[in-house]
Amino acid sequence: MLFKPFTKRTALAFGFLLSLPLVAAPNKGKEIYTKSCAACHAPNGGGIPGAAGGPNLTILKKKYAQQQMHAIMDGKRGGTGSQTMAGLLNAMKIKRTEMDAALNYVLKLPAAPSPHEEMGNAKRGKKIYNQCIHCHGTTGMGYQNAGLPAPRLTGQSNAYLYLQLKNFKAGVRNDGSAGSQQMMAVLKPLKDQDLQDLVAYISTLDTSPTPLQNLKYKVYKGEWKKLPDFSKLKPIKDGSIANGLLDIRVAEQKNAYGMVFEGELNVPAKGKYQFHLASDDGAKLYLNDRSKAIVDNDGIHAANEKNSAWLELPAGKTKLIVDYFDLAGQTKLSLTWSRQNNFKKRAISAEVVGGKQKGPNLKPIILGSKDDKALVFRNFINKGNARSIGVSFPGNMNLIFDASNMALASFWSGDFVDVAPMWHGRGVRDIAPISSDIVPLPLDLQFAELANPEAKWPIELNRNSNQTRTHSLRFRGYKLDKNRYPTFMYTLGDIAFEDRFDPLPEQAGIKRTIKIKGQSDKLYFRAATDEISKKDDSYTLANCTMTIENAELRPFGNVQELMVPVKLSSGEAQIQIQYSF
Domain that holds residue 297: 213-354
Q: Do 244 and 185 reside in the same domain of the chain?
A: no
**Same domain, yes or no, for 349 and 371?**
no
Q: Are residues 242 and 372 in the same domain?
A: no
Q: Are 145 and 166 members of one domain?
A: yes
Domain boundary among 45, 80, 107: 107
Q: Where residue 26 falls among pLDDT bands split at 50, 70, 90?
A: very low
Question: Quick one: pLDDT at residue 339?
Answer: 86
Is 556 a residue whose pLDDT tops 80? Answer: yes
**Does a structural domain hold residue 170?**
yes
CA distance 117 to 429: 30
Query: What pLDDT is attached to residue 346?
Result: 87
pLDDT tens per residue, range 68-125: 889 888 888 888 888 888 888 888 888 888 888 999 998 888 777 777 777 888 888 9
Whether residue 144 is found in the same domain as residue 280: no
Instruction: Calculate the average pLDDT of the chain.
Output: 84
CB atoms within 10 A of CB 272: 14
Distance (Å, whole) CA 487 – CA 514: 9
Kindly give the residue spans of alpha helices, DSSP state H, lying in 172-277. Answer: 178-187, 192-204
Highest mean predicted confidence (pLDDT) among 45-59, 179-193, 380-394, 437-451? 179-193
Amino acid type, 319:
K
Sequence-separated (6 or more) residues with CB below 8 Å from residue 66: 100, 103
Quick check: 223 pLDDT over 80?
yes
Nearest to 146 by CA among 440, 530, 447, 410: 530
Of 185, 204, 223, which one is at a domain's C-terminal end?
204
Are 467 and 405 spatial neighbours (Cβ–Cβ below 8 Å)?
no
231 exposure class (CB count in 10 Å sphere: 0-12, 13-18, 19+): exposed
pLDDT, tens digit, 9 for 90 and up, residues 396-412? 899 999 888 898 988 88
Determine the pLDDT at residue 12.
45
**pLDDT tops 80 at residue 512:** yes
Does position 335 have pLDDT exceeding 60, yes or no? yes
Q: Residue 212's pLDDT is what?
A: 92
Q: Do both 415 and 542 map to the same domain?
A: yes
Predicted confidence at residue 385, as pLDDT, reads: 56
Compare 221 and 25 and report the one with higher pLDDT: 221
Residues 560 and 419 in one domain: yes
Assigned domain for 401 exists? yes
- Is residue 559 domain-resident? yes
Cβ–Cβ < 8 Å for 236, 218: no
Range with lowest mean pLDDT among 115-124, 142-151, 529-538: 142-151
Asked if pLDDT for residue 543 goes beyond 70, the answer is yes
Q: What is the CATH number of the domain that holds 165?
A: 1.10.760.10
| Per-residue pLDDT tens digits for 252-309 | 888 999 999 999 998 877 889 999 999 999 999 999 999 999 999 999 988 888 999 9
Query: Which has the closest alpha carbon to 261: 211, 223, 207?
Result: 211
Highest mean pLDDT among 10-24, 89-103, 459-473: 89-103
Structural domain contains residue 117 = no
Asked if residue 525 belongs to a domain, the reply is yes
Query: Looking at the structure, do residues 223 and 350 belong to the same domain, yes or no?
Result: yes
The two beta strands, 257-267 and 407-413, are unpaired
Q: Are 384 and 391 in contact (CB under 8 A)?
A: no
Question: Which pLDDT belongs to residue 503?
Answer: 92
CA distances to 113, 131, 347, 568 from 208, in Å: 6, 24, 7, 52
| Residue 362 CB coordination number (10 Å) | 13
Identify the band that residue 17 occupies on the pLDDT scale cut at 50, 70 and 90: very low
Do 539 and 407 lie in one domain? The reply is yes
pLDDT at 422: 64
Q: Do 337 and 473 fall into the same domain?
A: no
According to the per-residue pLDDT averaged within each range, which of 83-92, 133-142, 509-518, 550-559 is highest? 509-518
Is there a domain that residue 3 lies in? Answer: no
Kindly give, in sequence order, each residue whose CB lies less than 8 Å from that of residue 231, ignoring residues fewer than 6 positions away. none
How many domains, the chain? Answer: 4
* Closest by Cα among 433, 427, 417, 428 to 384: 433
Do 198 and 95 lie in one domain? The reply is: no
In a domain, 2, yes or no: no
Q: CATH number, domain at 50?
A: 1.10.760
The model's confidence at residue 578, banded by pLDDT at 50, 70 and 90, is very high
Same domain? For 178 and 239 the reply is no
Residue 34 — φ and ψ, nearest 5°? -60, -40
Tell me, what CATH number does 560's domain have?
2.70.98
Is residue 361 one of the residues assigned to a domain? no
Highest mean pLDDT out of 47-61, 101-115, 262-276, 344-358: 262-276
How far from chain centre, in Å, is Cα 549? 36
Which of 354, 387, 405 represents a domain boundary (last residue)? 354
CA distances from 446 to 104, 144, 514 (A): 38, 15, 12
Mean pLDDT in residue range 167-192: 88
What CATH code is carried by the domain that includes residue 279? 2.60.120.1560
Q: Where are the alpha helices (DSSP H) in 322-445?
A: 350-353, 420-423
Cα(362)–Cα(410) distance, integer angstroms: 26
